[in-house]
Amino acid sequence: MRTVAHGIGERYEHETLLVRRGPRSGLPTVIAVHSTALGPALGGCRMWSYATLEGAVADALRLSRAMTLKAAVARLPLGGGKAVIRLPAGVERPRGVFREALLHDFAEAIERLGGSYITAEDVGTTSADMARLGRWTEHVVGRPAEQGGGGDPAAFTAAGVEAALHACFEHVFGARTLARRSVAIVGVGSVGGALALRLARRGVRLVLADIDPAKRALARALGAGWMSTADALRARVDALAPCALGGVIDAELVPELRCRIICGAANNQLAGDELADRLAAERILYAPDFVVNAAGLINVSLELTGYDAARAQRRAAAIETVLSDVLTRARDAGETPLRAATDLAHERLRLAQLAPPPPDDTGAQAPSTGTSALPTPGRGDPTHWGRRTRRPISARAHR
């Protein structure tokens, strides 16, 4: 079976799709590696309830492609991957011995890929889970700070979204200042909540929304408005910041939007890439999510060479410049920012594919297309570049 995903006007083949039923937990793990052209695929593990296994596979495929684009635009020597541990519909967050079994099963699946995939936390997993995984696999980042890791990347992701909002306001309103601007944050979990705190300090007028009514306490503490998620998506604000799960911007919602900017932390905010053109026609600026939320990836990636929080903060702030360049490129070419950012990522991937692959048993550098946030991994690093399989691998199922 060949695994195929589709993007803007182009066909994308994933290198690896592994689906394995855990021998301890009995639940399936999905790992999708979209590309290792720039380096080992790094992407978080999502522990979530899906109605079907097919839905979990589709999510992993879609998210891993976005991770490839994210790493390429951020100039990281990494590829794109994603993992999903599929919980049955209606199952609450696993705990105790059962969670331990799930993570052990997942670590075994990671090991089967020989270093081509590195995991990190995502929806439903934590830095404590990453520490547990480290008992069974070295291909993991996002450990707690007290163990030398970057810890919870939410604060860095939020800092990157704030930086991206500066670029968006400059592009749309001619001034990058956030004070007295209005922003609706849909989803005030770890990232959305951190973003709300940052924006409140900048004098932003906030509207918050979350499916968890307990999060209304944050709105009260910040003096922010509170709406249902449906109403917040349609609020008359300067910017809408989706910070929960993806796919919230669909064809039905587009004509009902009353914001000027969409710039948030959620992955795959658009139900389909074609909606970028619809948003442009409505004169709504959509900032590509894989550019906006890259600080979380940058933060955990720094663990591969020795974590430095100050460096992570500088790279998060630099997202303003990265996005500003994308928006300028889109304006000059008369295209959407999503197209411009995707084309930029593809250019870097094509350049990497023209470079000769590194030897299998040396610490040679991986291909680089420009200034990188990380030195390229070599032998002895957790990523094991030299052991990486470069050929496309057919989808494999293990039981």
Give the separation between CA 176 and CA 96, rounded to whole angstroms.
47
Residue 267, Cβ density class (10 Å: 0-12 exposed, 13-18 middle, ≥19 buried):
buried
The answer to whether the CB of 356 falls within 8 A of the CB of 368 is: no
Is 82 catalytic? The answer is yes
Helix (H) or strand (E) holding 118: strand 117-121
Give the separation between CA 109 and CA 113, rounded to whole angstroms.
7
Burial code (b: 16+ CB inside 10 Å, e: under 16) for 162-199 equals bbbbbbbbbbbeeeeebeebbbbbbbbbbbbbbbbbbb
Q: Which of 75, 82, 215, 384 is catalytic?
A: 82
Give the separation between CA 58 and CA 106, rounded to whole angstroms.
18
Edge-to-edge strand ranges of the sheet holding 225-226: 225-226, 205-209, 182-186, 239-242, 261-262, 285-286
Give the separation between CA 380 and CA 269, rounded to whole angstroms.
37
Burial code (b: 16+ CB inside 10 Å, e: under 16) for 105-135 equals bbbbbbeebebbbbbbbbbbbbbebbbbbbe
**In the block, residue with structure tokens 């967050």:** 93
Give the separation between CA 170 and CA 259, rounded to whole angstroms.
15
Tokens of 37: 């052209």
The answer to whether the CB of 268 falls within 8 A of the CB of 289 is: yes
Tokens of 294: 């890259």
Give the separation between CA 248 and CA 229, rounded to whole angstroms.
10
- Kindly state the DSSP code that residue 387 receives in the 8-state scheme: G
Q: Residue 96 CA to chain centroid, in angstroms?
A: 28
Q: Which residues form the catalytic set?
A: 82
